[in-house]
Amino acid sequence: MPRQARKPRELTEPLFVARPPADAPLAARMRPRSLDEFVGQAHLVGPDGALSRVVRPGYLPSMVLWGPPGSGKTTLARLLAERSEGSWRQLSAVTSGVADVRQLVADAHALREAGGRTVAFIDELHRFNKAQQDALLPHVEDGTISLIGATTENPYYEINSPLLSRLRVYRLEPLSAEDLRSIVERSLADERGLAGRISLADEGLAALLDLSGGDARQALNILEAAASVAEDGAVIGAEPIAEAAQERLLAYDRVGDQHYEAASAFIKSMRGNDPDAALYWCASMVSAGEDPTFIARRIVIAASEDVGNADPRALQVAVAAMQAVEMIGLPEAQYALAQAAAYVASAPKSNRAGSAYFAALAEVEEKGRLPVPLHLRPSAHRRLAREHGYGRGYLYPHDHADADVDQQYLPDELAGRVFYEPSDQGLEIQMGERLQRLRRQRLEARRGQHRGGDKGRRE
């Protein structure tokens, strides 16, 4: 007798109800009902978009949708599931455990035996621990489920490599001002939204777009809040929008992508000699609640990595600022951060010292640590000096003019190798001139020795 497929739990909840409850939030009421209504992310769902080319009835690859809040990850996942004709199941990684994952997989197996397919959407996928992610792995691999994970965090850091290797990663970008404008204007005109209820003045629309930070949900929430206290037919300007928003909500997560993006912009602004941009990104991080010691450490790194010996005082200023931050904290430490960031951004730049170090490190990694020349080894132990030649022939530089003497300091295999070439910036100009002069003097001394030796042989 053929085995009968176990009847799955109800997996066929409608992707979109035709008419959401009247008291549903505006963002829920205005959720796109088809890909034609979806706004933004043209690189994914446009005519030549990456997802448009691969998703079709009966087929949906497992994937991660990675992007900031309000960029359309959940909506896009549901629309893709609908296009692929798969049955929708949704879990939140915040509230679901391994047992929920196992139940989902069991139901998906049963549906598969009955000829159906399951699309499993897991919101905040990066919050699943290793055991939960491992529980998904074989079922993603064998096609029991088509997994769509949504995350605001970099999946290459937050998702286990075995699972990530079986997922395609698609990056969603913050919505542009034009995208947000289209969404807002549709909400003002659509019967599901605020049609006939209120309108936006040009300055109100501009303020709304500015305050939303590329987040469609945030834009509609602010709009709905402003409309809730306005009279029917009101034309809403910038002030009611600002009041509805309460304050500018910075798009920033101290442990997420915005954290690293702002830090990257800050560092690159200092490196690029732009104190204005450096101070802006510094202020944006402080305003968003970033740890000021993190900011101070970035300034110290830039002072050493990017300014270097072109102006050694930059490192002193940066370290002093870091100490000030640790001693006095915010808000007063903002002055120290501003002073150090402006100094480092304005200072001449040279990365020659760091480049020289890593060139030397490459030699160490390739050849191992080469033997120290005998004349450079410590001669404190008389027996070592007598029997093995430790320290023999060492010339004390301070006994010579310019506190310099022609003497080999590198291992024999690297003798004559030059790693550090000072730049033509700031104090390194003087350093470079001094090193060139000393090198010429050593070369002349060697030539003199050679000429003396040749003369002796001729005589």
Q: Are residues 200 and 85 in the same domain?
A: no
Residue range(s) defining the domain that contains residue 294: 257-346
Percent of the chain having pLDDT more than 90?
21
> What is d(CA 224, CA 27) in angstroms, rounded to the nearest whole number?
9
Q: Are residues 51 and 164 in the same domain?
A: yes
355 within some domain? no
Task: Please report, as a single letter, which amino acid is at residue 458.
Answer: R
Which of 307, 328, 346 marks a domain boundary?
Answer: 346
Q: Count structural domains, the chain.
A: 3
Q: Are residues 139 and 32 in the same domain?
A: yes
Which of 171, 204, 234 marks a domain boundary?
Answer: 171
Distances (CA, A) of 100 to 65, 107, 244, 413: 21, 11, 38, 63
> What is d(CA 356, CA 164) in angstroms, rounded to the nearest whole number?
37
Q: Are residues 35 and 134 in the same domain?
A: yes
Q: What is the CATH number of the domain that holds 312?
A: 1.20.272.10
Q: Are residues 330 and 300 in the same domain?
A: yes
Q: What is the mean pLDDT of residues 304-322?
A: 94
Q: Are residues 186 and 308 in the same domain?
A: no
Q: Are residues 32 and 108 in the same domain?
A: yes
> What is d(CA 355, CA 410) in angstroms, rounded to the nearest whole number?
18
Which of 303, 319, 346 marks a domain boundary?
Answer: 346
Q: What is the mean pLDDT of residues 295-305?
A: 94
Question: What's the pLDDT score for residue 381?
Answer: 57
Question: What's the pLDDT score for residue 399?
Answer: 77
The sign of the torsion formed by the CA atoms of 198, 201, 202, 206 equals negative
Distances (CA, A) of 9 to 103, 107, 108, 118, 176: 9, 6, 9, 12, 41
Question: What's the pLDDT score for residue 311?
Answer: 92
> What is d(CA 135, CA 123) in angstroms, rounded to the nearest whole number?
16
Q: Are residues 143 and 97 in the same domain?
A: yes
52 within some domain? yes
201 within some domain? yes
Stretch among 195-204, 388-397, 427-436 having the lowest mean pLDDT: 388-397
Which helix (H) or strand (E) segment is 89 a member of?
Answer: strand 87-92
**Which residue(s) pair with 350 in the sheet?**
none
pLDDT, tens digit, 9 for 90 and up, residues 402-425:
777 777 777 878 887 888 788 888
pLDDT band, very low/low/confident/very high, at 457 (cuts 50, 70, 90): very low
Q: Are residues 232 and 287 in the same domain?
A: no
309 within some domain? yes
Q: Could you tell me which of 49, 19, 15 has the C-alpha nearest to residue 34?
A: 15
21 within some domain? no
Q: What is the mean pLDDT of residues 108-129?
A: 88
DSSP string, 360-393: HHHHHHHH-SPPPPGGGS---SHHHHHHH-TTTT
Stretch among 9-23, 227-241, 330-344 having the lowest mean pLDDT: 9-23
Q: Are residues 39 and 140 in the same domain?
A: yes
Q: Are residues 122 and 210 in the same domain?
A: no
Question: What's the pLDDT score for residue 449?
Answer: 67
Residue 35 has pLDDT above 70, yes or no: yes
Pairing between strand 118-123 and 87-92? parallel
Question: What's the pLDDT score for residue 451?
Answer: 60
Q: Are residues 234 and 269 in the same domain?
A: no
94 within some domain? yes
Q: What is the CATH number of the domain that holds 56?
A: 3.40.50.300
360 within some domain? no
The sign of the torsion formed by the CA atoms of 8, 148, 134, 67 equals negative
Q: What is the mean pLDDT of residues 435-449?
A: 78
Residue 290 has pLDDT above 50, yes or no: yes
pLDDT band, very low/low/confident/very high, at 11 (cuts 50, 70, 90): very low
The tokens of 293 are what?
A: 């010691």
Q: What is the CATH number of the domain that holds 182?
A: 1.10.8.60
Residue 5 has pLDDT above 70, yes or no: no
Contacts of 150 (CB under 8 A, 6+ apart): 64, 65, 66, 73, 74, 77, 121, 122, 123, 124, 125
- With beta carbons less than 8 A apart as the criterion, state whether 159 and 122 touch: no
pLDDT, tens digit, 9 for 90 and up, residues 179-206:
999 999 999 999 888 888 889 999 889 8
Average pLDDT value for the chain: 82
- Ramachandran region, residue 63 (left: φ > 0; alpha: ψ -120 to 50; beta: rest): beta
268 within some domain? yes
